[in-house]
Structure 1
């Protein structure tokens, strides 16, 4: 039944994943053991709160598209090394100016029809602007007339992710990661090597998606809940010393994939010539994954280069 669906069908966006699963005989235990096991970390929502359209996209791509579609890979280095350090090195080599910790305060058109971006102490002028900030910030920066109904951006809700970081004084997990059933623990990753931790200890990261009920819990409460559960799941952790325990909270980690969100997500092009949108929350067809964010960047960059090529009548490579 899933194979027959078109994830882009607007009708699927209007129903929730749990309702569809129930219609197809999936028991609550099956939902917990398979559909939410994959769906919660990829969609950042349990089945009752997830758009069927986005769920269909995830499971058709991740299970049915090809024999190796469900293979799991993970980064051996911190994601900042991939998304920031190496990207910055390439941009620097190309002579691109990158301004960090620089807030865009206002975007407006110049008298010459170009774009002016006001940042502290400076105004940047450009032929094209890709606005790649969260939906609420986008709403605040968009010039009038850029979207038909910009207030719809404020209807795109957000969902949190909570990460618990535990440093043991010994090795307690032999595998690179695991997930748990019948437990509050979702996914656990060994971050010892990627964090640079040396010595006999081990650093585990517990990743908790759709963490609305726990995102504001005190560290002491989370420690009291999860350390005993890790000991239950990992016998080697029983009696191990805790060298460190800390929590990182991303209250607006992703957009919420609720039913109906598809009609709220704008495309890369706006009605303002030369102004484009990017971000995992835009209309990529994907949930708020890194893959979706990258696709949004390609969409926006392609639209911008196309517009610049027509405006200035030079090759897109030169425009880039």
Structure 2
């Protein structure tokens, strides 16, 4: 609470993705007057929806896990939790179409037993690995569980080298470790920091039995990350300015910050830069961050999504993962998109899509439609009503070995200036969870500097 007669604190949050929305809500909930500026005509950052004819399309398929406690807080905070339920128990169909003797379906699912027994039965019967490979997975998992995530040396090692040193074959890496890792890290094991990979597997698969249960929105994500988020911001008293790009951030002679936007200069005690690393670098005042150019060394990794509308139902599961094919994950988006008149809409989510990200639509159609027919026999006689592509060339930061040394924390050397974004030092890879956690960190640091008491809503996510 502010002292009677004093001016209330002001904050400007630059960027309306999950990190910026979270920071703005946390600051406003603590009594700070907040203005959020976003250059796009909507909130949500790189997670958004758009219209294509009668369809409402997400730019990409996004899921979260039960262990994503910060993102679950976000869903609760914007009244969206009921729209993005979790599985009762982890259950992932995995179809290998290159298996000897023809296509073979396996499942990765958990039981109610304690860790690590919750996955023991599933791994023991996983048909995509040999008996010896299944046994080696158990030994590697126990070794992974013993790793200390606080050890900075893990960041300098690539995940594939560590896996091979612990008896994992190329097939085991492909059929298990990369099946999970590519979807969460957005790179394959040779290009992933052991520190971040270990964090994913220890937290998701080796912490609590239900930690890896999967959740996803049953409505277009724009309804959650834009519509509901904007309503929450309005209710919290946040002034939200869309189509408004910050042109500069400077400290005024009176010691306060000035944020230049078209036609106006916003003055504030606190500024949170919640934009990608290159945009942050361009806005940072000189001296605000030690070795600021290191932000430019944080690489990016692309994600490609292929959208296919068939004239009939070709998939009777909500999603599946594929082996023996360039296809990675396939999701049924029919009901979510509002498709009417029969048929089925599938989204094919391709992480670490460096080889395909710039390929023409015609090439992608020729490459992937036959693959879907190999995976889904019912697609062989189906007509394709629509085929289109969404591309995020810089979807995530690349979690390469050594990236941990490049990721800054929320505070900067400039008092009152803070950083947020999944690329900052959250300890997580570039996920919705990491973005929300970064917003927590920035708001917490800002409120501490302002002398505001602040009870963190999720201490374990701080």
Give the TM bin, normalised by the shorter chain. over 0.9
SS at match of 1:212: coil
Residue of structure 1 aligned with 2:324, choices 156, 175, 182: 182
After superposition, residues 1-320 of structure 1 pair within 5 angstroms as 1-309=143-451, 315-316=453-454
- 2:125 aligns with none
Which one is further off, 32-41 or 76-85?
A: 76-85
1:81 offset after TM fit, Å? Answer: 1.7
Distance 1:154 1:60 in 2: 29
The answer as to whether partners of 1:8 and 1:285 remain within 8 angstroms in 2 is no
The answer as to whether partners of 2:444 and 2:454 remain within 8 angstroms in 1 is no
Q: Give the length in aligned residue pairs.
A: 313
The answer as to whether partners of 1:108 and 1:117 remain within 8 angstroms in 2 is yes
Distance 2:454 2:148 in 1: 33
Q: Could you list the per-position Cα deviations for residues 203-255 of structure 1 after superposition, in whole angstroms to 9, with x for gaps in the alignment?
A: 10000000011100000000001001001100111111111100000000000
Normalised to the residue count of structure 2, the TM-score between the two structures is 0.67
Distance 1:154 1:42 in 2: 23
1:110 offset after TM fit, Å? Answer: 1.0
Unaligned stretches of 5+ residues in structure 1: none
SS at match of 1:65: coil
Q: Could you list the per-position Cα deviations for residues 157-196 of structure 1 after superposition, in whole angstroms to 9, with x for gaps in the alignment?
A: 0110000000111111101101101110001111111111
Distance 2:362 2:150 in 1: 44
Distance 1:119 1:151 in 2: 24
Q: Which runs of 4+ in 1 moved over 4 A?
A: 314-317
1:91 offset after TM fit, Å? Answer: 1.1
SS at match of 1:101: coil
Normalised to the residue count of structure 1, the TM-score between the two structures is 0.96
The answer as to whether partners of 2:447 and 2:453 remain within 8 angstroms in 1 is no
SS at match of 1:85: helix
Higher relative contact order (CA 8 A, sep 6+): 2
1:94 offset after TM fit, Å? Answer: 2.5
1:8 offset after TM fit, Å? Answer: 2.6
1:199 offset after TM fit, Å? Answer: 2.1
SS at match of 1:265: coil
Distance 1:195 1:123 in 2: 40
Distance 1:94 1:170 in 2: 45
Unaligned stretches of 5+ residues in structure 2: 1-142, 456-462
Distance 1:91 1:276 in 2: 20
SS at match of 1:2: helix
SS at match of 1:258: coil
Q: Over aligned residues, Cα RMSD in angstroms?
A: 1.0
